Amino acid sequence: MTASRSWTARRDNKLERLRAASAFADGKVLDSARMVEALEAILRSGDRVALEGDNQKQADFLSRSLAEVSPEKVRDLHMLISSISRPEQIDVFETGVAKKIDFAYAGPQSLRVAQLLEDGQLEVGAIHTYVELYARMFVDLTPRVALVAAEKADRRGNLYTGANTEDTPTIVEACAFGGGIVVAQANEIVDELPRVDIPGDWVDLVVKADRPAAIEPLFTRDPRLITEQHILMAMLAIRGVYERHGVVSLNHGIGFNTAAVELLLPTYAERLGLKGQICKHWTLNPHPTLIPAIESGWVESVHCFGGEVGMEDYIAARSDVFFTGRDGSLRSNRVLCQLAGQYAVDMFIGATLQIDGDGNSSTVTSGRLAGFGGAPNMGHDPGGRRHASKAWLDMKTDPSPTARGKKLVVQMAETFQKGGVPTFVEELDAVGVGKAAGMPIAPVMIYGDDVSHVVTEEGVAYLYLAADEDERRAAIAAVAGVSPIGLRHDARRTDDLRAKGLVAYPEDLGVDPAEAKRSLLAARTIEDLVDWSGGLYRPPAKFRSF
Amino acid sequence: MTASRSWTARRDNKLERLRAASAFADGKVLDSARMVEALEAILRSGDRVALEGDNQKQADFLSRSLAEVSPEKVRDLHMLISSISRPEQIDVFETGVAKKIDFAYAGPQSLRVAQLLEDGQLEVGAIHTYVELYARMFVDLTPRVALVAAEKADRRGNLYTGANTEDTPTIVEACAFGGGIVVAQANEIVDELPRVDIPGDWVDLVVKADRPAAIEPLFTRDPRLITEQHILMAMLAIRGVYERHGVVSLNHGIGFNTAAVELLLPTYAERLGLKGQICKHWTLNPHPTLIPAIESGWVESVHCFGGEVGMEDYIAARSDVFFTGRDGSLRSNRVLCQLAGQYAVDMFIGATLQIDGDGNSSTVTSGRLAGFGGAPNMGHDPGGRRHASKAWLDMKTDPSPTARGKKLVVQMAETFQKGGVPTFVEELDAVGVGKAAGMPIAPVMIYGDDVSHVVTEEGVAYLYLAADEDERRAAIAAVAGVSPIGLRHDARRTDDLRAKGLVAYPEDLGVDPAEAKRSLLAARTIEDLVDWSGGLYRPPAKFRSF
């Protein structure tokens, strides 16, 4: 009954390609000057190729080399790029070298993605969340070739990913053990690595990049830009959500609202006696605005998706708080941090650009196929969670003996965005964008039925207490100000909702809006953050105004 | 503003402990004969200790050594053990060396756990699912010490975990980068590893175990024990679920029902012309009963949580299907396979011991605190999923523009268990067990609102089509036979549900129960599986009756 087919075709074919590439390599080390030829030797038309484009780190030497590959030699690649952020990642679709893409986020390149899609030059497999794209690499999207970025490599192929680990280990694992070819660019090829993050046995080829891999400081919020409105919302959130439910472990988005929360912990929240009661364990990138809370002893642990430019020395000096390697530098890991953010924390709180009357929200607002990133992975109630915490049990309103708690999923938004554009809308732009792009479902970021609270400058809506959809809509309307959704609300109904605890306004929470001043922030400038860090935080040039 | 406290206390304390342990080590290699003393040097009372007890692999040399540690020297440890399966893992609670435990599954030791809990000698942190326990290791349960198992280690601490990777890399990552101490037992200490799975930079100490780490063959189902009833249910599932929804990627539980499905693919399903349409991508341990489907060309890929005893050579010879390393052996990884099983597959299908009228199910049935394992991680609709597939979109019944698809979560159970005990019950035993143990919520394994289909020997209930809870309950009752729940069903209502497509009986699905014979199985004995494998599968002695 044994079949006569080959069962090692992938491995045999891989060895054949590596033999072809060996003309451009000394052992495992490729000649940087011949990278384009090497790629032409390694790649075959139609290959599925994971090109590391993370939230922050980009394998840009490899993506720029790929953009020079001749479409006569290699065509119709199927690209897997978690975060598309560089123009050459899209150029390859214009030349015909690539044809199909699966991705999770396309911020800066989203207009071009939409245009190429319309022109039929690009085919979208699906728009994923981060973890679901990696998950599929172990199921039906295993990459044939992975092009990744490390900080340092040695000649045996061992990699040091350093502070910005992000997705590298996961992509490499899927490709290496799936019989694919792993090529890593490194800023340096050295004899001795500070530590081995990825074993050389998993890596086929390394190459010295022409310049260090591009890293974006995406998680730095300048406290100067935090407004009194942000501060008011942060006060409402601290009293109405963090304090009320005893939120001990959490994830913060990168908005100014949550940056304000971080900067109010050592001042406002400290005065409320909340130190040690809330905000002890964090899953997030190393936000500089977290420094004052760390220095004031609020923070027990921080596990990170990736790093943040300028935070390296500070982190190395705070190993009791951050996950670090024996060399002292940060160890991050996007998949594991997403897992922690999904299953292990009490709360996800993030900002959004649009919310509809049912509480669905999206950052897709302008005909752009921006994608989801990782927010949906953490911004939902994980059905596979079984352990309880105070905050989680607080969300249990059903008296049934088989009822369970819920994760807190909090959407925090001003009722209007800049320029007077309402945040609360009748229909998300995402619905139209999805239709126009032929997507099978609308690109909703966080679904309303997962949202437990909405916080605006008007107050807090406790959606988990709503008896039905109608009450849920009324509670959202009650905090939506004079937006189209907010104008729907009926003052009498709102009084009733306040009495029932579904809506709380500042006075209901003991928050005095007059107190919402910038003087309440533990740091009001980047320079203050540097001071708090004892000079260890070294902000990138664009944030240095002092 | 810089604080005067130390921010490297964990690291300093770790180095102090390692210095103490160095008396029992040559470099990183501990003296096996002095393991108890070494543990007494490494551990401090109250430490949080991750002891590797996976589904299959057990760090038993370390757990047996821990059981000999003097309670005069080390007390009140807080143990993290994903799967408790050895008596000495519990003995330490009797001596006072350990006090608290967080776990995910306690199969063989569940009665003792319950007893010690009642006696106040053991405190349960929480009963987790697998991934949530690891997730918490990066948040608020970071281990101070990790005691793990590898197949081989070298003198620099590099580990080869081999086929049974399971949880080792995740536990080691949390502990090593959390400033903890990683101790690995290995079956052998060698000069050259077949491949490096975990870098030595992450491992502090290694020790040669007195005997190879215990590995259980948990995923081997002897085809001899598959009954005609299992075969009928498998036929119903294939036609009513797999074929109907086009289930391309999936996870199977370890029941005989799903083993029957695996063995019907090359026969019954092949005749239906389903090859290439369903069951191409799998996330599961290497079930021997999958061999005939693999050999018949049904299976494109299998990613595994762990390995299976006896499947080593077969897997090495089938690298196009399995994830393998450059040494040829299987690479498994529980966290990544769980992630794949949660986010990337169309369907989870598994057996259970009890189902209530709302479709909630549990394997807790006899006053035992058994726990959940990994089923809930895959057996729920992941709210963070955004990519579509045919099967997922099939579950979308809401016409709203912001509606989404759902994962298929299928519970497959005979209406009665062995000994005439009904599967369908008014109230899950889990409710009483949870109350008795003082658990904040009942230990429900899969929640009814996540279940899309129930398959019994009577037929299939399409719960995702139910308009409300009442219709859902009626559909469950219609396939629950003469169990207490089944007796509730009303024949006229059932006709209506069949007409509406909520319930399908064999004749509705074109399944002839008379065809449900053992002769339909592609393999009827373990020996048949060996034959299919061309002699590559080498079943453990307990399965060898030939």
Across the interface, do B402 and A10 touch by the CB < 8 Å criterion?
no
Q: Looking at the complex, report in whole angstroms how far the Cα of residue A68 sits from the nearest Cα belonging to chain B.
A: 30
pLDDT mean across residues, chain B: 95
Pairing state between β B57-58 and B214-215: antiparallel
DSSP letter at A449 equals G
Across the interface, do A139 and B344 touch by the CB < 8 Å criterion?
yes
Name every chain A residue with its beta carbon within 8 A of the beta carbon of B300. Answer: 140
**Under a CB-based contact definition with an 8 Å cutoff, are residues A98 and A76 in contact?**
yes
- Please report the pLDDT score of residue B1 as a whole number: 46
- What share of chain B has pLDDT > 90, as a percent? 86
- Please report the pLDDT score of residue B236 as a whole number: 98
Span B214-240, pLDDT tens digits: 788 889 999 999 999 999 999 999 999
Q: Give the pair of three-digit tokens for residue B194.
A: 């077949």
In a domain, B542, yes or no: no
Span A260-274, pLDDT tens digits: 999 999 999 999 999
State how far the Cα of B418 lies from the Cα of A309, in Å rounded to an integer.
61
- Please report the pLDDT score of residue B418 as a whole number: 86
State how far the Cα of A96 lies from the Cα of A77, in Å rounded to an integer.
8
In a domain, B4, yes or no: no
Nearest CA in chain A to B356: A402
Name every chain A residue with its beta carbon within 8 A of the beta carbon of B395. Answer: none
In a domain, B75, yes or no: yes
In a domain, A384, yes or no: yes
In a domain, B255, yes or no: yes
- Closest Cβ opposite residue B196 in set A201, A344, A405: A201
Span A97-152, pLDDT tens digits: 999 999 999 878 888 988 898 899 999 999 999 999 999 999 999 999 999 999 99
Name every chain B residue with its beta carbon within 8 A of the beta carbon of A136. Answer: 340, 343-344, 387
Nearest CA in chain A to B176: A325
Span A208-244, pLDDT tens digits: 999 998 788 889 999 999 999 999 999 999 999 999 9
Q: Looking at the complex, report in whole angstroms how far the Cα of residue A440 sits from the nearest Cα belonging to chain B.
A: 7
Residue A206 and residue A227 in one domain: no
For the packed helices B110-118 and B87-95, what is the interaxial angle rounded to 10 degrees?
A: 10
Is pLDDT at B364 greater than 50 in this prediction? Answer: yes
- Please report the pLDDT score of residue A3 as a whole number: 52
Name every chain A residue with its beta carbon within 8 A of the beta carbon of B9. Answer: 320
State how far the Cα of A283 lies from the Cα of A203, in Å rounded to an integer.
29
Name every chain B residue with its beta carbon within 8 A of the beta carbon of A534. Answer: 1-2
Which residue in B6, B402, B425, B449 has the most chain A C-beta atoms within 10 A of its own C-beta, making it the best mutation to test that interface? B402
Which residue in A158, A300, A402, A530 has the most chain B C-beta atoms within 10 A of its own C-beta, making it the best mutation to test that interface? A402
Q: Give the pair of three-digit tokens for residue B272.
A: 């239906």
**Domain finish residue from A174, A197, A215:** A215
Q: Render the burial of A462-495: b for 16+ CB within 10 Å, e for the rest.
A: bbbbbeeeebbbbbbbbbbbebebbebbeeebbe
Q: Looking at the complex, report in whole angstroms how far the Cα of residue A280 sits from the nearest Cα belonging to chain B.
A: 9
**Under a CB-based contact definition with an 8 Å cutoff, are residues B506 and B228 in contact?**
no
Span B98-128, pLDDT tens digits: 999 999 998 788 889 888 988 999 999 999 9
Residue A188 and residue A252 in one domain: no
Amino acid found at A202 = W
In a domain, A154, yes or no: yes
E strands, A28-84, are 29-30, 48-51, 57-58, 77-83
Across the interface, do A320 and B387 touch by the CB < 8 Å criterion?
no
Q: Looking at the complex, report in whole angstroms how far the Cα of residue B328 sits from the nearest Cα belonging to chain A.
A: 9
Instruction: Give the Cβ contact number of residue A275 at 10 Å.
Output: 17
| Nearest to A343, CA basis, from B407, B442, B377, B78 | B377
Is pLDDT at A87 greater than 80 in this prediction? Answer: yes
| Range B446-454 average pLDDT | 96
Which backbone phi and psi does A334 adopt, to 5 degrees? Answer: -65, -45
Beta-bridged to residue A350, according to DSSP, are A411
Which residue in A102, A330, A387, A425 has the most chain B C-beta atoms within 10 A of its own C-beta, making it the best mutation to test that interface? A387
Span A323-381, pLDDT tens digits: 999 999 999 999 999 999 999 999 999 998 899 999 999 887 766 677 888 899 999 99
Residue B491 burial (10 A CB sphere; 0-12, 13-18, 19+): exposed
User: Would you say the ipTM is above 0.85?
Assistant: yes
Q: Which residue has the tokens 């929200």?
A: A361
State how far the Cα of A264 lies from the Cα of A524, in Å rounded to an integer.
11
- Please report the pLDDT score of residue B366 as a whole number: 66
Instruction: Give the Cβ contact number of residue B88 at 10 Å.
Output: 16
Across the interface, do A319 and B532 touch by the CB < 8 Å criterion?
no
Q: How many CA atoms lie within 13 A of B429 on its CB side?
A: 16
Name every chain B residue with its beta carbon within 8 A of the beta carbon of A387. Answer: 102, 125-128, 132, 136
Q: Which residue has the tokens 């409300």?
A: B468
Span A10-60, pLDDT tens digits: 999 999 999 999 999 999 999 999 999 999 999 999 999 999 998 889 999
In a domain, B540, yes or no: no
E strands, B19-96, are 25-26, 29-30, 48-51, 57-58, 77-83
State how far the Cα of B258 lies from the Cα of B237, in Å rounded to an integer.
9
Residue B445 burial (10 A CB sphere; 0-12, 13-18, 19+): buried
- DSSP H or E stretch at residue A148: strand A145-153
Residue B261 and residue B145 in one domain: no
Residue B211 and residue B275 in one domain: no
Residue A100 and residue A240 in one domain: no
Across the interface, do A384 and B386 touch by the CB < 8 Å criterion?
no
Across the interface, do A323 and B177 touch by the CB < 8 Å criterion?
yes
- Please report the pLDDT score of residue B108 as a whole number: 81
Across the interface, do B320 and A9 touch by the CB < 8 Å criterion?
yes
Q: Looking at the complex, report in whole angstroms how far the Cα of residue B516 sits from the nearest Cα belonging to chain A.
A: 24
Nearest CA in chain B to A284: B139
Residue A208 and residue A247 in one domain: no
| Nearest to A533, CA basis, from A543, A523, A521 | A523
**Domain CATH for B272:** 3.40.1080.10
Which backbone phi and psi does A357 adopt, to 5 degrees? Answer: -65, -20
State how far the Cα of A36 lies from the Cα of A94, in Å rounded to an integer.
18
Distance of alpha carbon A234 from the chain centroid:
21
**Domain finish residue from B181, B215, B249:** B215
Q: Looking at the complex, report in whole angstroms how far the Cα of residue B499 sits from the nearest Cα belonging to chain A.
A: 28
Q: Give the pair of three-digit tokens for residue B378.
A: 């895959």
Across the interface, do B404 and A444 touch by the CB < 8 Å criterion?
yes
Across the interface, do B404 and A441 touch by the CB < 8 Å criterion?
yes
Which residue in A175, A177, A284, A380 has the most chain B C-beta atoms within 10 A of its own C-beta, making it the best mutation to test that interface? A177
Beta-bridged to residue B453, according to DSSP, are B410, B462
Across the interface, do B319 and A138 touch by the CB < 8 Å criterion?
no
Q: Looking at the complex, report in whole angstroms how far the Cα of residue A44 sits from the nearest Cα belonging to chain B.
A: 18
E strands, A338-432, are 347-351, 354-356, 361-362, 408-412, 424-425
Amino acid found at B488 = R
- Per DSSP, the residues of B7-25 read S-HHHHHHHHHHHHHGGGE
Residue B22 neighbours by CB under 8 Å, 6+ apart: none
| Nearest to A205, CA basis, from A173, A137, A158 | A158
Name every chain A residue with its beta carbon within 8 A of the beta carbon of B345. Answer: 139
Across the interface, do B427 and A344 touch by the CB < 8 Å criterion?
no
Residue B268 and residue B373 in one domain: yes
Across the interface, do B323 and A178 touch by the CB < 8 Å criterion?
yes
**Under a CB-based contact definition with an 8 Å cutoff, are residues B359 and B448 in contact?**
yes
In a domain, B318, yes or no: yes
Residue B353 and residue B277 in one domain: yes
Residue B207 and residue B227 in one domain: no
Is pLDDT at B440 greater than 70 in this prediction? Answer: yes
Name every chain A residue with its beta carbon within 8 A of the beta carbon of B378. Answer: 384
Beta-bridged to residue A78, according to DSSP, are A48, A100
Residue A104 and residue A170 in one domain: yes
**Under a CB-based contact definition with an 8 Å cutoff, are residues A233 and A455 in contact?**
yes
Higher pLDDT, A290 or A253: A290
State how far the Cα of A521 lies from the Cα of A267, in Å rounded to an integer.
7
| Range B534-543 average pLDDT | 95
Name every chain B residue with its beta carbon within 8 A of the beta carbon of A303. Answer: 138-139
Across the interface, do A387 and B5 touch by the CB < 8 Å criterion?
no
Residue B232 and residue B92 in one domain: no
State how far the Cα of B197 lies from the Cα of B202, in Å rounded to an integer.
11
Beta-bridged to residue B249, according to DSSP, are B281
Across the interface, do A179 and B138 touch by the CB < 8 Å criterion?
no
- Span between the terminal Cα atoms of chain B, in Å: 76
Across the interface, do A428 and B196 touch by the CB < 8 Å criterion?
no
Q: Looking at the complex, report in whole angstroms how far the Cα of residue A507 sits from the nearest Cα belonging to chain B.
A: 33
State how far the Cα of B92 lies from the Cα of B39, in Å rounded to an integer.
13
Higher pLDDT, B291 or A418: B291
Handedness of CA A109, A112, A117, A123 (dihedral sign): negative
Which residue in B13, B334, B387 has the most chain A C-beta atoms within 10 A of its own C-beta, making it the best mutation to test that interface? B387
Name every chain A residue with its beta carbon within 8 A of the beta carbon of B340. Answer: 135-136, 138-139
Pairing state between β B159-160 and A281-283: unpaired
Beta-bridged to residue B208, according to DSSP, are B186
**Domain finish residue from A166, A191, A215:** A215
Give me the domain span that covers residue A468: 223-528
Name every chain A residue with its beta carbon within 8 A of the beta carbon of B202. Answer: 195, 325
Residue A199 and residue A228 in one domain: no
Across the interface, do B7 and A281 touch by the CB < 8 Å criterion?
no
Span B151-180, pLDDT tens digits: 999 999 999 999 999 999 999 999 999 999
* Number of domains chain B is built from: 2
Across the interface, do A344 and B129 touch by the CB < 8 Å criterion?
no
| Nearest to B531, CA basis, from B254, B301, B314 | B314
Name every chain A residue with its beta carbon within 8 A of the beta carbon of B131. Answer: 339, 343, 384
CA angle A337, A339, A340 (to 5 degrees): 65
Residue B109 neighbours by CB under 8 Å, 6+ apart: B84, B85, B86, B87, B89, B90
- Closest Cβ opposite residue B131 in set A6, A384, A404: A384
Beta-bridged to residue B214, according to DSSP, are B58
Beta-bridged to residue B198, according to DSSP, are B159
- Please report the pLDDT score of residue A546 as a whole number: 57
State how far the Cα of A14 lies from the Cα of B325, in Å rounded to an integer.
13
Higher pLDDT, B70 or B217: B70
**Number of A:B CB contacts under 8 A?**
320
